[in-house]
Amino acid sequence: TPIFMACGTEDFLLENNRDFRDFLVEHQVDVTYYESPGTHEWKFWNEYLETAVLWALAGKEGMKEV
């Protein structure tokens, strides 16, 4: 099952997200990962809601960033 992740570079969980992304890649899980400025709050998550929904509904071809 493909996984979509997005994390802010100022998020207190950034290192956990990077570790989990690396774990998924190491175990050959199809992961799409985005990282950009932001914290652990709705302002950041709202930036990726549309991207995540489109990824889930239409597929993720051409959107992979690791």
pLDDT of residue 51 exceeding 50 = yes
* Residue 27 token pair: 């175990």
Residue 58 — very low, low, confident or very high, per pLDDT cuts 50/70/90?
Answer: confident
> Rounded to an integer, what distance in angstroms lies between the CA atom of residue 35 and that of residue 4?
11
Segment 10-39, tens digit of pLDDT: 999 999 999 999 999 999 999 999 999 999
Which whole number is the average pLDDT over 42-59? Answer: 92
> Rounded to an integer, what distance in angstroms lies between the CA atom of residue 57 and that of residue 24?
22
> Rounded to an integer, what distance in angstroms lies between the CA atom of residue 13 and that of residue 7?
8
